[in-house]
Structure 1
Amino acid sequence: MSETKQKIWTKDFTLIVIANFFIFAAFQMTLPTLPLFVQEIGASDRWIGIVVGIFTFSALLIRPTAGKMLDTKGRAPVFLTGLVIFVISMFSLAASYTIAILLLVRIMQGAGWGLSSTSSGTIATDLVPKERRGEGLGYYGLSGNIALAFGPALGLFLTDHISFTMLFSICGILGFTALMLALNIRYKKGEKPEQDPKTKDTYVPRFDIVEKRALPAASLLFFITVTFGGIATFLPVYTFQKGFDSQYIQFYFVIYAAFLMLSRLFAGRLYDRRGIAVVFVPGSLSIIVAMIMLGFLPNPAYLFIAAALYGFGFGCVQPALQAWAVNRSENNRRGMANATYFSAFDLGVGFGAMTYGFVAEAFGYSTIYFTSAFSVTLSLILFLIMMNRFNKEQNSNAPGI
């Protein structure tokens, strides 16, 4: 294969990376500010969880449809439609002064997010060479990580200086910028099945909501992203209960984002050269140690070390699992493979956020993180079982293994 075909940073790949950055920046700026907006419009605290949760539920429902449409209708229509819905919903937030309107807008926003994020991941997959897919998706993921590093803090900063109307309008402009960039991408056409479409391996049933070859990676991801739900939802109040300064939790997320970006710079390349085991095993072990440290958390030093370990581990396993999910699937099923992968991500975060609320109430916050360590350990055990099964089948030529 020629050197040109091996190139990652083409014009189109650069455009999708930058567009993804603007999408995630708009989303991350609203993440910590929406609860404040709910309070401003006079709704009770119980509505905060509903407003946040209904977004995830909407995105989760739309992802299988997005995956199927990506594989049958093409990348551009789905991506551009998702971006238009996402942009309109961002501007609509500025006029959502009743809880009923806000819930409708959040449903629309979740649909736009589900369509656009599933599409952008699939488009990025199309644009990188298969032999460098782990590395390319690692670079692609950096755009979202950079937005994560500054988006929430910037959103909170702006709420102290401007109105929510202005804040959501700025987020809408960021989304519109992503749309303008997306219009300049040359999209690849969906590929036809590699075998006879009537054969067992490529036949697609009418009730098509998952890509079965992506399920191993997606199931592992679910047990790992459960930990993210526990961290994002309960870590701030847990550290407050421990008597830590409020700035420490901000440092946690900055350290987390920094090590997440650092690991992405080499983990994808290592996956391409050595396979998933050399990336997934140390990455998951790093997350397990981080969760145990958060469970004990005797002082802020444990918090910061856990942030570094969690960022490093998550940055290793996430792009590797996405590349593995796509590589195991047929070329004409990349859209559904990405939809299956991101659905597992949503399910894990949502399940963790909801379940750990009951765990915290019954056993305390520290139990959340010991339980999370067990969840990741289960993922590691399942991975080893999968690898043993694949080796026994002597399927050494299967992509991504």
Structure 2
Amino acid sequence: MTLPTLPLFVKELGGSDQLIGIIVGIFTFSALLMRPYAGHALESRGRRFVYMFGLGVFVLSVGSFAFVTSIAFLFMMRIVQGIGWGFSTTATGTIATDLIPPKRRGEGMGYFGLSGNIALAFGPSLGLTLVDVITFPQLFLICASGGLIAFILSSTIRYKKVDQSEHKTVAVKFDIFEKTAIQPSMLLFFITFTFGGIATFLPLHAAEKSVAGIESYFLVYAIFLMISRTFAGKVYDRKGHLYVFLPGTVLIFGAMLLLAWLPNTAVMLIAAGMYGLGFGSVQPALQAWAVENAPGNRKGMANATFFSFFDLGIGLGAIIFGQIAFVFNYSFIYVTAAGSVSLSIILYIYLVWKAARSHNRQ
């Protein structure tokens, strides 16, 4: 709910496009810094502690937005929000991995990812609708109450106990990522780079182009996201990431070009469907890939690595796109985003070729 409305709030406080990008981006950078600590804490302090601590910090920080009167205070609380987000989202991915049978990991991560992505799809539409009829402080208090419900429900989960693992956790100096998760996480970075442009600047881009129905964009995105979850995970389990990643990224690439063009509402909604179908297919497949090869005592760090690249993509995207909007225009944001998707496709083809070559040698 805050993704498309926070930029409007910054504008109301007198901030520029550059400040919008920085305030949106700093949230993900603070989350990025916390994820390695969260990954280690999952294996030492336990799933429950990390998850509930992260949710608690998140709820308090979002609730504080209702009392913000300056950009400086908002900037500070966005950093705090990122800390809560980093701990809670790293924990959820690991908890889901604990619960899903290994043979159905792609399918299971698809269902798990659906819940968060439905929120990312319907939340912005609801936020944009509410902000026209209520004040920003009221909106932020509603957001905080949603997080409070999550905090209460988190106490009912049966968490895996740390001492049940058959592996021993070994402390490693400067251990900030899981190497087996690097490749899919790098691919994810170039994909989520595009998300920073959509979530942060699409409402402003549509207004500049006099295109109505921005709320409908997120609803259409949600519908096609749900459609992708019905088959993408199963395709991954049966055939592997090759049959999921390339079709998904081609759809995302096309969506970015349509948003750069954006002549009318119909084109915007077509782009929404393409992006929902593409992102909904690619993201859970890459997450399943990231955790499947990690040792049993490194699933937490694998998820931390995966979401660190997720955050880095969104954060850098928001900050860089803010500069692009300031120097050029909103349309150029999505041309740049299409270039980022192209890099992901090129990198993926290289990784597949490299793996095939290594396999042939063996």
TM-score (structure 2 length as normaliser) = 0.89
Confirm or deny: 8 A CA contact 2:15 2:71 kept in the other structure: no
Are the structure 2 counterparts of residues 37 and 367 from structure 1 closer, same or farther at C-alpha, using a change threshold of 3 Å?
closer
Pair 1:85-2:57 in alignment: yes
Confirm or deny: 8 A CA contact 1:82 1:116 kept in the other structure: yes
Are the structure 2 counterparts of residues 128 and 39 from structure 1 closer, same or farther at C-alpha, using a change threshold of 3 Å?
same
State the AA in 1 paired with 2:211: D
Gaps of 5+ in 2: none
Q: Report the Cα offset of residue 387 of structure 1.
A: 1.8
- In the other structure, the counterpart of 1:245 is 211
CA distance in 2, matches of 1:163, 1:356: 27
CA distance in 2, matches of 1:337, 1:289: 30
Pair 1:352-2:317 in alignment: yes
- In the other structure, the counterpart of 1:322 is 287
CA distance in 2, matches of 1:73, 1:385: 39
Residue number among 79, 98, 103 corresponding to 1:131 in the alignment:
103
What are the residue-to-residue correspondences of 1:301-340 with 2, within 5 Å?
Answer: 301-340=266-305
CA distance in 2, matches of 1:31, 1:364: 20
Q: Report the Cα offset of residue 360 of structure 1.
A: 4.5
Spell out, residue by residue over 1:80-128, the C-alpha distance to the aligned partner (whole angstroms, 9 max, x if none).
1111111222333333344444333322221111111111111111111
CA distance in 2, matches of 1:310, 1:277: 18
Spell out, residue by residue over 1:266-288, the C-alpha distance to the aligned partner (whole angstroms, 9 max, x if none).
10111111111111111111112
Q: Report the Cα offset of residue 207 of structure 1.
A: 0.5
Instruction: Mark the structure with the bigger radius of gyration.
Output: 1
CA distance in 2, matches of 1:163, 1:343: 33
Are the structure 2 counterparts of residues 115 and 260 from structure 1 closer, same or farther at C-alpha, using a change threshold of 3 Å?
same
182-191 or 162-171, larger mean C-alpha shift: 162-171
Per the alignment, in what secondary structure is the counterpart of residue 246 of structure 1? coil
CA distance in 2, matches of 1:50, 1:374: 22
What are the residue-to-residue correspondences of 1:2-401 with 2, within 5 Å?
Answer: 29-38=1-10, 42=13, 44-45=15-16, 47-190=19-162, 192=165, 205-242=172-209, 244-247=210-213, 249-360=214-325, 364-394=329-359
Confirm or deny: 8 A CA contact 1:193 1:330 kept in the other structure: no
Confirm or deny: 8 A CA contact 2:21 2:322 kept in the other structure: no
Spell out, residue by residue over 1:358-394, the C-alpha distance to the aligned partner (whole angstroms, 9 max, x if none).
4445554444333322322221221122122223333
Spell out, residue by residue over 1:255-301, the C-alpha distance to the aligned partner (whole angstroms, 9 max, x if none).
12211121022101111111111111111111122223333444443
Are the structure 2 counterparts of residues 297 and 327 from structure 1 closer, same or farther at C-alpha, using a change threshold of 3 Å?
same
Per the alignment, in what secondary structure is the counterpart of residue 256 of structure 2? helix
Are the structure 2 counterparts of residues 278 and 128 from structure 1 closer, same or farther at C-alpha, using a change threshold of 3 Å?
same
Per the alignment, in what secondary structure is the counterpart of residue 374 of structure 1? helix
Confirm or deny: 8 A CA contact 2:22 2:319 kept in the other structure: no
CA distance in 2, matches of 1:217, 1:177: 32
Q: Report the Cα offset of residue 203 of structure 1.
A: 6.5
RMSD of aligned residue pairs (Cα, Å): 2.5
State the AA in 2 paired with 1:157: T
CA distance in 1, matches of 2:197, 2:6: 19
- In the other structure, the counterpart of 1:17 is none
CA distance in 1, matches of 2:96, 2:244: 21
CA distance in 1, matches of 2:240, 2:222: 25
- In the other structure, the counterpart of 1:21 is none
Are the structure 2 counterparts of residues 228 and 102 from structure 1 closer, same or farther at C-alpha, using a change threshold of 3 Å?
closer
CA distance in 2, matches of 1:245, 1:38: 22
Confirm or deny: 8 A CA contact 1:260 1:314 kept in the other structure: yes
Per the alignment, in what secondary structure is the counterpart of residue 334 of structure 1? helix
CA distance in 1, matches of 2:349, 2:22: 38
State the AA in 2 paired with 1:253: F
CA distance in 1, matches of 2:113, 2:78: 24
State the AA in 1 paired with 2:243: V
State the AA in 1 paired with 2:347: L
Are the structure 2 counterparts of residues 390 and 178 from structure 1 closer, same or farther at C-alpha, using a change threshold of 3 Å?
same
Gaps of 5+ in 1: 1-28, 396-401
Spell out, residue by residue over 1:339-373, the C-alpha distance to the aligned partner (whole angstroms, 9 max, x if none).
11111111111222222344445554444333322
CA distance in 2, matches of 1:97, 1:86: 19
Q: Report the Cα offset of residue 216 of structure 1.
A: 0.1
CA distance in 1, matches of 2:261, 2:10: 34
Q: Report the Cα offset of residue 193 of structure 1.
A: 6.7
Spell out, residue by residue over 1:160-182, the C-alpha distance to the aligned partner (whole angstroms, 9 max, x if none).
44444443333222212111111
- In the other structure, the counterpart of 1:20 is none
CA distance in 2, matches of 1:236, 1:313: 21
- In the other structure, the counterpart of 1:11 is none
Structure with higher RCO (Cα < 8 A, 6+ apart): 2
Structure ranking higher in helix proportion: 2
Are the structure 2 counterparts of residues 383 and 151 from structure 1 closer, same or farther at C-alpha, using a change threshold of 3 Å?
same
Confirm or deny: 8 A CA contact 2:324 2:330 kept in the other structure: yes
